[in-house]
Amino acid sequence: MNRTGSKWVWHYRVLLKLRDHLLQERRCHLGQAAEPLEPHSMSLADSATDEFDHDLALSRLSTEQDALYEVEDALRRIVDGTYGRCVETGKPIPPGRLRAIPWTRFSKETEADLEELGAVNHSRLGRLGSVHGPAEVEMAEAQQPNEPDEGESE
């Protein structure tokens, strides 16, 4: 990491951990996708379930590969000194957005414009929760108003 990247140490570490997690998940899903589908002459339901699981593993691999690309690209931007700036406009990305989405390449407005045009379409993770209700993080967010970080707005 160069000298200008030193202010992005937290982001760099988070991105490295995320990359490691994605690589581990990828290995797991590669194993699932590589398992041969066995014919179930006695049960069509078992065959359908196996095919669904196989297709799901392939779909996850594709999504994880896209996420891995975004994370590795963000790490490269930190190293080359372009991290924290919108790749379309060159304007700074607000610190709050970078903390929430450390791999982001665009400001919120630019990404919304690009999504509207169909130029980008990101897979999104669902809301954090469980079968017992919303997660504590989600509940805490609902109780606190959203305020821009360091006087900047997203």
pLDDT given at position 10: 93
Could you tell me which residues are beta bridge partners of residue 129? 134
pLDDT band at 34; cut points 50, 70, 90: low
Count the domains in the chain: 1
CA angle, corner 154, sides to 2 and 114, nearest 5? 85
User: In CATH, what number is assigned to the domain containing residue 25?
Assistant: 1.20.120.910
Q: 92 pLDDT band (50/70/90 cuts)?
A: very high
Quick one: which H or E segment has residue 117?
helix 108-117
Q: What range does the domain containing 105 cover?
A: 3-151
Per-residue confidence (pLDDT) for residue 151, from 0 to 100: 41
Residue pair 88/106 in contact (Cβ under 8 Å)? The answer is yes
| Residue 74 DSSP symbol | H
pTM of the model: 0.62
Model confidence band, residue 39 (pLDDT cutoffs 50, 70, 90): low
